[in-house]
Amino acid sequence: MINVTVYRSQNQIQAFELSGHADSGPYGYDLVCAGVSAVSFGAVNAVIKLCETDLDIEQGAEGGYLHVRLPESLNKEMMTKAQTLLEGMIVSLETIERDYSQFIQIHRK
């Protein structure tokens, strides 16, 4: 099971964490894992490039763990852009959860 935890403060995403494995198919054919990975890494890469910032990123050595925190130093314009990108990520993850809830759950804190 992949657990997604989204951390918000004042209705803004401050961080998110992915942990676990979907195990929805054999290694290399796990579509849920591939979808979650593509959506989350795509969003992280978009924030880094379009907001011209580094993120606090922690990854598990063998996969199955990703923690990303936005820097507090983002100006208002870049924070708005980052929020839009991350909200898009959440919508995509919710779509995966809707169809594959036995393999992914999203939590909000």
CATH of the domain at 23: 3.30.70.1490
pLDDT for 13-33, tens place per residue?
Answer: 999 999 999 989 988 889 999
The stretch 71-82 carries a mean pLDDT of 94
Q: Which pLDDT score is estimated for 28?
A: 83
- Is 33 an active-site residue? yes
The stretch 84-104 carries a mean pLDDT of 97
Its domain, for residue 70, covers 2-108
pTM above 0.75, yes or no: yes
Burial level of 77, CB count in 10 A (0-12/13-18/19+)? Answer: exposed
Looking at the chain, the whole-number percentage of residues with pLDDT higher than 70 is 100
Amino acid at 39: V
- Is 67 an active-site residue? no
Of the residues 21, 51, 67, 107, only one is catalytic, namely 21
The total domain count for the chain is: 1
